[in-house]
Amino acid sequence: MIRALLILIILMSFKGFTQSLASYDHNGLQRSYNYYVPSTWNITQQVPLLFVLHGLTQTGSGVMDITGFNDIAEENNFIVCYPNGLNESWNANMNITFSSADDKGFLEALTEYFQVNFNTDPSRQYLCGFSTGGFMSHKMVCESSECYAAIATVSGNMSDTVYSNCLPQGSPSVLHIHGTADAVVPYNGGPSTGVSVDEVMTFWQNHLTCSTNPVISPMPNPNLFDLSSPERWVWQNCGQDELELIRVDGGGHQWPGITTFVGGVGTINMDFYSPDEIWDFLSDKTCQELSTNKLLKKQIRISPNPASEILAISAESDIENVQILDFNGRTLLKLNGIGREQIISLEKFDQGVYILLLTCTDGIFSTRIIKTNN
């Protein structure tokens, strides 16, 4: 079944396909998700991946319909996925919870699925969430071994449990958007939602080693009838990371810029369109943990890819060994001490997607290779 899907994707590699609904079994539970692939997509090009996580009582398709991230993905050539939490919720270790599902494992499995089947870039994976989806976004970067380069949260925060036990393996950039009049997830925290926005921002300021005091500046306030106004808080000297808060004075539990009856509760700020603001923040962030791989990529040439018969490899430094693995981690081919150039025959490989792992004197490089039959 998996191989048939890979073949189908290869055959469609130069055809963009758009909005889709899919599901699979995770830990004995059928989990579903919507996703959008831009029309310019082909499997030979790595593209970013964005997860948009819905709020409590909402669905992936619902948040897809109101946010317009599909249009942004089409314009900016990335894949966006809208997973569905069980019971229309997420297990984000909140003080009051409606789900005990393994949502962290579910999202990690989806991340790897898109890496394998759509060639998404492991260094440019992002999380965005509204309300409970925001809580889940924080949990993922606090607990997951997957590298998510940045998160953006709207009217969501950290639960007390996640806040007390957050040990990020990486250093994600963080954008948080929150209204001071949010009655569902109060800006100053509460017994049902946990710590305050200021406490969460201080946590990330310490983790990213940013300067203590943010630079605060008013954002444009063209709409004088929405009874709210935004201001931008930017922490400086965070190294290669960024930390920002858009504090919406008078704003409710809402996506700013989106007028909808199903989006949230309270005053909607209409001074900026939050999905655009979110993608502008996320789009240039890269996982620092994968920087060695990124640097080596500039020094290594692999062609053709996809390939039907042979694969040519050349590097600017000595290649100590080459391995081809399947996605279960099994080594299918290993060559040692090959210098700076190598021709590999793919004749005995089945059509599909594999992992190419090179150990060079400058470091370790990995990428996906595609074997075709023509």
Return d(Cα 137, Cα 148) in angstroms, integer.
10
Using 50, 70 and 90 to split pLDDT, how confident is the model at 336? confident
Return d(Cα 35, Cα 100) in angstroms, integer.
24
Which carries the bigger pLDDT value, residue 44 or residue 111? Answer: 111
pLDDT at site 249: 98
pLDDT at site 287: 87
For the chain, what are the domain ranges?
2-290, 299-371
Region of poorest pLDDT, from 5-14, 90-99, 163-172: 5-14
**Closest residue by Cα to residue 134 from 175, 106, 179, 167:** 175
* pLDDT digits 0-9 by tens, 346-356: 988 988 878 88
Cβ-contact 271, 224 below 8 angstroms: no
How many other CB atoms sit within 10 Å of the CB of residue 249? 16
Return d(Cα 291, Cα 211) in angstroms, integer.
24
Fold of 2-290: Rossmann fold (3.40.50)
Q: Which CATH number is correct for 299-371, 1.10.4030.10, 3.50.50.60, 2.60.40.1930, 1.10.287.3510?
A: 2.60.40.1930
Alpha-helical segments (H) within the chain: 2-11, 60-67, 69-76, 103-118, 132-143, 160-165, 197-207, 274-282, 291-297
Buried b (16+ CB within 10 A) or exposed e, 330-360: eeeeeeeebeeeeebebeebebbbbbbbbbb
pTM score of the predicted model: 0.77
Return d(Cα 332, Cα 309) in angstroms, integer.
16
pLDDT at site 175: 98
Which carries the bigger pLDDT value, residue 43 or residue 309? Answer: 309
Side-chain half-sphere exposure of 362, counting CA atoms within 13 A: 17
Which carries the bigger pLDDT value, residue 361 or residue 184? Answer: 184
For every residue of 206-233, DSSP letters joined together read: HHTT--SSPEEEEPP---TTSS-EEEEE
* pLDDT digits 0-9 by tens, 19-37: 889 998 888 899 999 999 9
Which carries the bigger pLDDT value, residue 208 or residue 326? Answer: 208
- Let me know the angle formed at the C-alpha of 344 by 316 and 116, rounded to the nearest 5 degrees: 85
Please state, for a pLDDT cut of 70, what percent of the chain lies above it: 90
Do 299-371 and 2-290 have the same topology in CATH?
Answer: no
pLDDT at site 133: 97
**Closest residue by Cα to residue 210 from 245, 241, 232:** 241
- Backbone torsions φ then ψ of 37, nearest 5 degrees: -115, 125
- Backbone torsions φ then ψ of 233, nearest 5 degrees: -110, 120
Using 50, 70 and 90 to split pLDDT, how confident is the model at 290? low
Q: Over the chain, what is the mean pLDDT? A: 88
- Let me know the angle formed at the C-alpha of 255 by 59 and 195, rounded to the nearest 5 degrees: 90
* pLDDT digits 0-9 by tens, 200-240: 999 999 999 999 999 999 999 999 999 999 999 999 999 88
Region of poorest pLDDT, from 13-22, 42-51, 98-107, 252-261: 13-22
* pLDDT digits 0-9 by tens, 118-149: 889 989 999 999 999 999 999 999 999 889 99
- Let me know the angle formed at the C-alpha of 17 by 272 and 103, rounded to the nearest 5 degrees: 65
pLDDT at site 9: 38
**Quick one: tokens of 41?**
């997509």
DSSP-based helix, strand, coil % in the chain, nearest 5: 25, 35, 40
CA torsion 155-158-161-162 (nearest 10°) is 140
* pLDDT digits 0-9 by tens, 148-175: 999 999 999 999 999 999 999 889 999 9
150: CB partners within 8 A, 6+ apart: 126, 127, 172, 173, 174, 175, 242, 281, 282, 285
